[in-house]
Structure 1
Amino acid sequence: MPSVDELLLLIRDRLTDLHARHPQAVRSAAVLLGLVAFGLVWFFRPWFHTVVYGVYTTPVLPIAAALGLGVAVLLRRRLGTVADGQVGFAVFVVVLLVGSSVGGLLTGAQLGQDTMARADTADSLSETDPARPRVVTKSVAERYASNTLNFPQYRIDGGDITVRNGTPYWSYALAPDGTFNHYTKRQHGTVLVDMSQQNAEVDTVVGDVERGVGPAFYNNYRFATLKRANYLVEYEDPFMVVDEGEQYIAVPYTKPEFHWLPLPHTTPEWGGVVLIHGDGRVQDLSPSAARDHPALREQKLYPFDLARESVAATKYRNGIVNTFTSHEDEIEVAPVPGEDNDQPFLVFTESGPEYVVAVEPYGQAQGLKEVWTIDARTGEYETYSPDSSLFGARKATDYVRQAARTTDWNRFIPSEPIPVVVDGQLYWEVRVVPEDSSGIAYIAFVNAQSSDVNEVDTTPEVTAFLNGERVADQPESTDDDTERSPRIVVERVAPNGTVVETMKVYDNETVRVVPGSAQANDTATSD
């Protein structure tokens, strides 16, 4: 049996002989094969997007390639060694790695300076809209959506905020579940979880989407987007939009801005929004066109990741060297407990939807240094620096733990501290959820200045607090305060395990269980 080398030599000889006898046929076959290969690569170009975009946004790459090739050619001419190619490749790798690292620092510094320059200074923060409170956390919404799902061939996918008829929802795609369904089915609809209601308010809009979230590439929104819209951009996570009974998928994206000095690098900027219709049509909308589109008139449009990245980059406000040495006036985006959901948080204010990012001083300090707000529809930045000393989001969760002495913190988690403003005063709205995210136990509003904790149990109480009706109603807790310490907590649980409603029973109270068909004289009382 011939070896591999012998087979290669045999194939080469046959091809050489074939080319000598039929040169025109060989050239035609080579051209045809090249065209077929180019056609396949062009058709499946979405699969290569990550690599192509990475090369496109690394302008130091051609410099590294030129230097590596130049060194290889120079060594070959002067020394004629066989190692010239290896040395040239080593030069290429070293220049690329060093240039990319320096370029990354330049990108951060440039983005931070641009963000500082474009941001306006705000004297106060916008008042939170009481009609659109943010109550349900992302993890709880996902549990609500999963528990109410009754489509055996589908699962929920995604998880982002959308607005429908003025009400904010957590939105999920009904994606095919399992390998067979992945290749044979399309997205089957949209699941909406009302984020302004503490209980499980879930609405499912059923209808196949031609190019959706979850199915194989020939039915997938991303494959269609990269083929029919802008290719050399960075697409963010999609979110579902339901408008007048029609389903859409909206995908904000960023595009690179090139800077050539002192070393070539790029910074991201908002490019627009791609809107995929239910019938598969793809619209590439500029930021202004997206704001004017009827289906997007209520939606957030500015890219989430760009908002966070831009604010985080302001740590370079005093230069790159400062971030490695004295850290003067350096900031960091405050890490918060969010169960896979982090800043910025989308908050609905009386001025419209805004991303809010709370930043702390660099290091161990947990005070509130600045609050950045980004208009979620226009991308306009504002920064608010408090006049007085305020504590940040992380410390707010500590105050919630201290105030709720009867809560078993081995079973419950303070989650997603959202900044809200009531009558000009900043509060941290902390949702306390069970470890399994089966519901919302209660909500605590922590005064960012006095550290007073106001606990509320129901959605109407949340609305009342945001309206300013309960800002000063609750006294501070003390060690002898037993008014807020219930003897037992009764949970009403749905068949799927979701906690629908909770009720606290105190020392001077009892629980009465009344059958639905019983009369008043047939009631039973239980302790």
Structure 2
Amino acid sequence: MSSPNTSEESGDRASDEETSEWSPGGGRDGGRPPLVALLGVALLPLLVAWFFRPTLHAVVYALYTTPLLVVPLVAAVVAGWFSAGYARRETPSEYGIGGDDRQVSPLRVAGVVFVVGILVLSPVVNVVAGATLSDRTMAGATTVERLDDVDADNPRIVTRAVAEQYASNTLNRPQYRVGETAITVANGTPYWAAPLSPDGLFNVLTKKQAGTVLVDTTTQGANVRVVEGTMEKGIGTVFFESYRWHLLKSGEYLVDYGDPKMVVENGTQHIVVPYSKPTFHLTPIPHSTPSWGGVAVVDPDGTVRTLSPEQAAESSVLAGQQLYPEDLARRRVAATKYRNGIVNTFTSHEDEIEVAPLPGDDNDQPFFVLTEEGPQYVVAVEPYGEAQGLREVWTIDGQTGAFEVYRPTQSLFGPQKAADLVRQAARQTDWNRFSPAEPILTVIDDREYWQVRIVPEDNSGIAYVAFVDAQSGDVREFEDTDAIRRFLAGATPTNATGGAGDAAGAGGGSGLGNGAPTVVVQRVAENGTVLETMEVYGDETVRIRQPANGTETGNASTASAGSAETNTTAGGIRAGA
């Protein structure tokens, strides 16, 4: 009888030994392979998430900047705990309250409370955050009595949509395309700059950014040049070669990066990305507001440099550039609608403002312009509601981020009315094919004008530029870049005659008064782009010669100053008033 017992005991011992080898301690000495495997399985998702953290940035940043999530989370935990206690007292069932799987379990109760809490509190926290941002903006802004005069040598003439057309129409590289444009300053001149990015799936996977396209903003013609040079981490490339992927891996992570801007300094390209970071507030409820965090610079070799606002303003590479985040400038100005409190914003609307809507394509404020005092953002605001007069003008220093607000002491037309005045004045313009675009408040000798560009519907060029006196409504139109610069420099008296319906310029003279050209000669390409312009003054005449075999044979025609228009059959040369 002892043998079977011995056999059973030995079998039990063997079974115990086999089992002990897979115990959490691992084998007889507490073996480690199972524990290591469990840790590996647990760490693998974390490692994958860490490697692909740039793709998770939007979600992580949204959670990070929403401290209010703590409130519904605590409420959900409390609701789930009370629900579980009630279920144990009433019906101890594995399904929850009532013993039926159709009943609500504590986990479901917590989930519902969390979701409802977010839906209810999100609008509240957005309003509270807007009011806090308004208070900070109003407290930090300086009220000024006048606006800075525009830099007459560097006017902003070409709109964004027209610049993109100019850049695309002159591009002769089939494997690349023109990316998103942004204004940059090179050697003191503002340009619309766009990356030269790979075009097509195969090229995106195999090629890098090949350069930067620059379109001169200060002339009506298509003055386009390309800065060649490969960017190791560029714009429009495959994700692991993208500047943003590299930025979120090597630079700051818990910040909000703005749109990239190409900056060319001494022939060297840089990708410049202003960014904001959150500032947290506990009262009256937990919330956060954005503030300027700094500027990230990506060099051609892919090196990332993160600069504070003070360091960016002192950088020679970034001299004269727009360093303040564009979206943050608009958001802060728009938030000042809460200046008289949240209740006022939803009831009486006293002194409430809104950022003025503008006609044209891609013409959202703020506008970046060069003034005699340096680079600035300009944001025009109008009263809340149906009123369209000019209420305030906010300017933001592009280098330091200093906010200034100008409040006119007299009634001034707003940008929408300025566009209407241009339509009324230019009765001969076919407004089915042309439209006013990008009205920018421009100060000339302490007098406010709306500078409005008139562009074709296909944004193929600038037909002419109109200046609307914001006080009187007088309209002046200019087809020539030099005429625009002379007007901006104050060559025309501000009290010159002419009302809203007395437009000069396109089809009727330039409107410059004394010293203005009486004939403008334009050399035009086949696609309608103005390549060169010449002005004729006083008693001067225009001679157009037709060369034969490279030799001038005589006058094809002669147009005296004041003649309406002269055409030749060779080359399509036109001299027009």
Please say whether Structure 1 and Structure 2 have the same fold, judged by a TM-score greater than 0.5.
Answer: yes
**Structure 2 residue aligned with 1:437, among 459, 464, 467?**
459
Partner of 1:213: 235
Decide whether the 8 Å contact of 2:478 with 2:505 is kept in 1: no
Deviation by residue 1:332-361 (Cα, 9 ceiling, x = unmatched):
000011311211111211110111111100
Partner of 1:55: 63
- The aligned runs of 1:453-468 (5 Å cut-off) are 453-468=475-490
**Structure 2 residue aligned with 1:277, among 299, 302, 317?**
299
Partner of 1:521: 554
Partner of 1:88: 110
Deviation by residue 1:116-139 (Cα, 9 ceiling, x = unmatched):
111111010001111111111111
Decide whether the 8 Å contact of 1:513 with 1:526 is kept in 2: no
Partner of 2:428: 406
Shift of 1:34: 3.1
Shift of 1:515: 3.3
Partner of 2:220: 198
Partner of 1:66: 74
SS of the counterpart of 2:213? Answer: strand
**Structure 1 residue aligned with 2:41, among 29, 33, 53?**
33
1:372 matches 2:372: no
SS of the counterpart of 2:79? Answer: helix
- The aligned runs of 1:444-455 (5 Å cut-off) are 444-455=466-477
Range moving further from structure 2, 515-524 or 37-46:
515-524
Decide whether the 8 Å contact of 2:450 with 2:470 is kept in 1: yes
Range moving further from structure 2, 36-45 or 340-349:
36-45
What is the CA–CA distance in structure 2 between the aligned matches of 1:118 and 1:482, rounded to whole Å? Answer: 43
Shift of 1:60: 1.0
Partner of 1:121: 143
SS of the counterpart of 2:181? Answer: strand
Deviation by residue 1:1-45 (Cα, 9 ceiling, x = unmatched):
xxxxxxxxxxxxxxx999679884333222223333322211110
Partner of 2:180: 158
SS of the counterpart of 2:293? Answer: strand
What is the CA–CA distance in structure 1 between the aligned matches of 2:48 and 2:504, rounded to whole Å? Answer: 72
Decide whether the 8 Å contact of 2:270 with 2:299 is kept in 1: yes
Question: Could you tell me which amino acid in structure 1 is paired with residue 412 of structure 2?
Answer: L
- The aligned runs of 1:139-288 (5 Å cut-off) are 139-288=161-310
Shift of 1:526: 4.8
Decide whether the 8 Å contact of 2:421 with 2:473 is kept in 1: yes
Structure number with higher relative contact order (C-alpha < 8 Å, ≥ 6 residues apart):
1
Alpha-carbon distance change, 66 to 477 in structure 1, aligned in 2, over 3 angstroms: closer
Decide whether the 8 Å contact of 1:511 with 1:526 is kept in 2: no
1:348 matches 2:351: no
Alpha-carbon distance change, 126 to 18 in structure 1, aligned in 2, over 3 angstroms: farther
Partner of 2:14: none
- The aligned runs of 1:358-369 (5 Å cut-off) are 358-369=380-391
What is the CA–CA distance in structure 1 between the aligned matches of 2:214 and 2:349, rounded to whole Å? Answer: 44
Partner of 1:3: none
**Structure 2 residue aligned with 1:75, among 60, 78, 83?**
83
What is the CA–CA distance in structure 2 between the aligned matches of 1:522 and 1:250, rounded to whole Å? Answer: 54
What stretches of structure 2 of length at least 5 have no aligned partner?
Answer: 1-18, 89-95, 98-103, 510-519, 558-565, 569-577
What is the CA–CA distance in structure 2 between the aligned matches of 1:36 and 1:108, rounded to whole Å? Answer: 40
Question: Could you tell me which amino acid in structure 1 is paired with residue 316 of structure 2?
Answer: P
Deviation by residue 1:464-503 (Cα, 9 ceiling, x = unmatched):
001100245864269799986469x997543566454689
What is the CA–CA distance in structure 2 between the aligned matches of 1:93 and 1:41, rounded to whole Å? Answer: 25
Shift of 1:165: 0.3
What is the CA–CA distance in structure 1 between the aligned matches of 2:203 and 2:218, rounded to whole Å? Answer: 33
Shift of 1:86: 1.4
Shift of 1:323: 1.3
What is the CA–CA distance in structure 1 between the aligned matches of 2:440 and 2:57, rounded to whole Å? Answer: 36
Shift of 1:375: 0.7
What is the CA–CA distance in structure 2 between the aligned matches of 1:36 and 1:241, rounded to whole Å? Answer: 40
Partner of 1:12: none
Shift of 1:62: 2.0
Alpha-carbon distance change, 520 to 442 in structure 1, aligned in 2, over 3 angstroms: farther
Decide whether the 8 Å contact of 1:148 with 1:496 is kept in 2: no
Shift of 1:518: 5.9
Decide whether the 8 Å contact of 1:253 with 1:303 is kept in 2: yes
Alpha-carbon distance change, 478 to 329 in structure 1, aligned in 2, over 3 angstroms: closer
What is the CA–CA distance in structure 2 between the aligned matches of 1:305 and 1:37, rounded to whole Å? Answer: 34
Range moving further from structure 2, 466-475 or 495-504:
495-504
SS of the counterpart of 1:158? Answer: coil
Shift of 1:322: 1.0
Deviation by residue 1:69-112 (Cα, 9 ceiling, x = unmatched):
21011111122335222121111011112222111000100001
Range moving further from structure 2, 443-452 or 468-477:
468-477
Decide whether the 8 Å contact of 2:475 with 2:503 is kept in 1: no
Alpha-carbon distance change, 199 to 35 in structure 1, aligned in 2, over 3 angstroms: same
Decide whether the 8 Å contact of 2:412 with 2:471 is kept in 1: yes
Aligned residues: 508
What is the CA–CA distance in structure 2 between the aligned matches of 1:477 and 1:77, rounded to whole Å? Answer: 80
Partner of 1:494: 525
What is the CA–CA distance in structure 1 between the aligned matches of 2:403 and 2:184, rounded to whole Å? Answer: 21
State the TM-score, normalizing by the size of structure 2. Answer: 0.83
Shift of 1:519: 3.0
1:289 matches 2:311: yes
Question: Could you tell me which amino acid in structure 2 is paired with residue 515 of structure 1?
Answer: Q
Partner of 1:13: none
SS of the counterpart of 1:332? Answer: strand
Partner of 2:50: 42
State the TM-score, normalizing by the size of structure 1. Answer: 0.91
SS of the counterpart of 2:317? Answer: helix
What is the CA–CA distance in structure 2 between the aligned matches of 1:351 and 1:479, rounded to whole Å? Answer: 34
What stretches of structure 1 of length at least 5 have no aligned partner?
Answer: 1-15
